[in-house]
Structure 1
Amino acid sequence: MSRPLFLRIVEALGQWSGYFTQRVDAVNRQGLSPLQKCTAAIRQLATGSCADELDEYLKIGETTAMEALKNFVKGIRDVFGERYLRRPTMEDTERLLKLGEKRGFPGMFGSIDCMHWQWERCPIAWKGQFTRGDQKVPTLILEAVASHDLWIWHAFFGTAGSNNDINVLNQSTLFINELKGQAPRVQYMVNGNQHNIGYFLADGICTGTRRGKKGY
């Protein structure tokens, strides 16, 4: 994470809640700084560090580190959720389609793929349902859609690692608007044929679906 982005998050969370500000206790001693609390939370999220590992260099106890993590996640959702954790608006959709057409893919909404995150502390009783033969270890699957400028506008996380990409797609919320009849309609020409359903660039077995196409 870049320093400017980190400081922007710290500042925004400080405005959101007094928890992420420098405070003093009853005897006028300085408490933990917002930098310490945000660093502790990000370390746990980004590297899987245990809360009790952070005391040595951050001087923050296990209980406080867990509290910081919970407040950090809630703050990120409340402060940035409306802008980043949302579906594309009609304006966003038009922009994505224009970008796709400009790059030689008319009708494309973005690129879709699934990745496996290793679950190191998966309970033994659950390992079978979270392990796939090609992965060898228990995993959780993240399905994401991103535009070329790395705007990740869809993320579906938590599916058991034993699933393949098609199984994940069938459980995903990605096409919920289409099922409701609310999906944006598009019109574009490919090889002289008119199409009115957008698509996503994909690889593997997803290219066999109605909305997945492979780029060559």
Structure 2
Amino acid sequence: MPLTRRKIDFLEALIELYDKNKAPVHYVDVANSMGISKWTAYDMLTELEELGYVQSEYYIDEDKSLGRSILVYTPKESAYDVVNKSSTHEWNTVKEMLLNVIKKNDNTISVDDFINEKKTALKPLKFCAYALTTLLLQIKTLDVATVESIKNSINITGSEAPVMLFIGIVIGFYIDYHLVSESRKVFDKVNIFHKYIKELSSNDKTLLNNFFKESLLYI
């Protein structure tokens, strides 16, 4: 039976904490990361263990008084498989949607709309793709010669370098054509973009660059 979105969210939270700390994760830490009660986290992780996706054990924390044991969880390989499959499906759906937005020149989409989504949806790769789409739509409003100049200035190689070069070029044009107050708003969004792009894995950087290359075909 396929896992519900809720269960996959728990696996994602557990894996993120496990990979970050390189150690089994206490259910309270999962609760804190998801903004839920510790008992809800405990119940869900117990259920996921019964389904064979996580493994629990008692750990003696030497820093704690009396050496009291705590219950910690480790994601199994099957958990990674589920999360990776879910992430791939989600990314392909988002990518196709954004490419259609660019093709149709639908400027109703904005980073503001995305930021206003629930916090759990604000994943680095998805945010960066939304931000790029917003700026790609922006340059489509410029004259043909300027657009071609921007495209020819971008060397599509490396990791995130072409994307960052594009961001810098577009911001320069944006400042030239808009009021200072509007440029300030753009800078705020670019600062967020920089924060999230640093959190991307090598695979996510490749996915973002491939999306960027493909999207340029419709500019």
Report which structure shows greater RCO (CA 8 Å, sep ≥6).
Answer: 2
Bigger fraction of residues in strand: 1
